[in-house]
Structure 1
Amino acid sequence: MDGVSMTKVMRLRHQFRRAAQSGAIKPWMLVVLLLALAPLLTLGFYEGRKAYWDAKVREMCAKDGGIKVYETVRLPPEKFNEWGQPNFFRPDQGEDALGVDYVFKKQAAYYRRGNPEMWRAHIQVIRRIDEKTLGESTSYSRRGGDLPGPVHDSSFGCPEERGDIPLLMRIFKQKPDRK
């Protein structure tokens, strides 16, 4: 600090000390002020931290988030359920989740673990016979970072359309019924 601003600080400190000694500022007033400010500062800390990680998620989504389809595959109607989703998808089967014809790769890379945590999810569908990638989905998510309490952690993720089912529905299409 330069000499002028240092003098101002010293003058303010001296005035505050004089006011406290004269009884103009009571010790209980300081306690009340601190008790009033503490929750606001705490809430601001947690909300600011969540906003920071949400901004990181948005930034990374803008770079490479979303679903990319390189080739669609036409299948008969019996390969789909009533919602148009492939009925041969078994997510608990790992890379064999789409049967013997396709490889289903799902990876998560954590950028931050703990509270809050942030990660990138990447899904690929690859045709086994020629090892061609048919499509991929990339998304980013944040979970946690909230003020501690009895409620569930908040979360944020993008892009809007992400994950396995939307990707599969864009890759696998029903052949039109010919009657």
Structure 2
Amino acid sequence: MSGLYLLALIGVWLLVGWVIYRSWRRWQPQEAKRKVFHLVAGLLLFSLWFGGAFWEVAGKKMYWDAQVRKLCAIDGGVKVYETVKLTPEIYEYYAGRNWVLPDKSDAKSSDEYFYEDDIIYYHRKDPQVTRSLTRVIRRSDGKVLGEYIRYGRGGGDLPGPWHGSSFSCSDITRSPSFEKSIFTKGGK
């Protein structure tokens, strides 16, 4: 179904391009100055038509991906303010849960550490560009132990029934992960 939709979009684009071309060809001036103007106007229309199509299909994604790369280089990544040595039992407990800490809104009073998330929208239209800030906080003193800043782009594709593409800062799930940068295994 999405293939037919894409073919219909291409067909409409080609049809409108053909109508513009036929209109341009119908007007044939006789004077040299008008012929030059006619040619320049045709090249300008051609450039606008194909440039606009390129911008819609790939240009805005390329632009926002470059902005995301720039923002990631400026302040993206992991910042550790304090490392915490956990007992082997507690360390294995968190490691067994794949370091999933509760969110601040879901944290119980017995949870010693929790996440706090903030999302800032840099561009709400299509494509959407966001900054995600995740902090690990110790409940006993409210201290921020570390934070992870990530930028991402979602969407910017041709409209259709398919899922939009996305782009973000490099993933930090490889070793050492965000949580393993903060929590270390201590002795008994």
Q: Pick the TM interval, shorter chain.
A: 0.5 to 0.7
Change (3 A) 1:90 1:104: closer
Asked if 1:54 is matched to 2:65, the reply is: yes
Query: Which entry has the higher C-alpha Rg, 1 or 2?
Result: 1
Amino acid at match of 1:12: V
Paired residue secondary structure (1:147): coil
Distance between the aligned counterparts of 1:14 and 1:116, measured in 2?
37
Deviations along 1:67-106, whole A, 9 cap, x unmatched?
0112111223333459936567344663627953234211
1:126, distance to aligned residue in structure 2 (A): 2.0
C-alpha change, 1:55 and 1:114, in structure 2 (3 Å) is: same
**Percent of aligned pairs sharing the same letter:** 38
Match of 2:144 among 127, 133, 150: 133
- TM-score, with structure 1 as normaliser: 0.66
The letter of the residue matching 1:173 is T
- Distance of aligned partners of 1:78 and 1:14 in 2 relative to their CA distance in 1, 3 Å threshold: closer
Once the two structures are superposed, the pairs formed by residues 75-114 of structure 1 within 5 Å of their partners are: 75-80=86-91, 84=95, 89-91=100-102, 94=105, 96=107, 99-114=110-125
Change (3 A) 1:15 1:38: closer
- Please list every run of 5 or more consecutive structure 2 residues that lacks an aligned counterpart in the other structure: 1-30
Of 62, 81, 99, 1:70 maps to: 81
Helix, strand or coil: the match of 2:105?
Answer: helix
**CA offset digits 1:24-72 (Å, max 9, x no partner):** xxxxxx9xxx8xx968852443200001111111111111100011211
Residue matched to 1:123: 134
Question: In structure 2, how many angstroms separate the alpha carbons of the residues matched to 1:15 and 1:89?
Answer: 64
Once the two structures are superposed, what CA deviation does each residue of 1:121-144 show, in whole Å capped at 9, x if it has no partner? 001112232332210000100000
**Equivalent position amino acid for 1:71 in 2:** E
CA distance in 2, matches of 1:146, 1:8: 43
Code of the aligned partner of 2:34: M
In the alignment, the residues of structure 2 paired with residue 10 and residue 172 of structure 1 have an alpha-carbon distance, to the nearest angstrom, of 75
* Whole-angstrom CA distance in 2 between matches of 1:108 and 1:82: 29
Q: TM-score, normalised by structure 2?
A: 0.63
- Helix, strand or coil for the counterpart of 1:62? helix
CA contact (8 A) 2:94 2:100 kept: no
Q: Name the amino acid aligned to 2:171.
A: E
What number of residue pairs does the alignment pair up?
151
Answering whether residue 158 of structure 2 is matched by residue 147 of structure 1, we say yes
In structure 1, what residue type is equivalent to 2:156?
G
Superposed CA RMSD in Å reads: 3.7
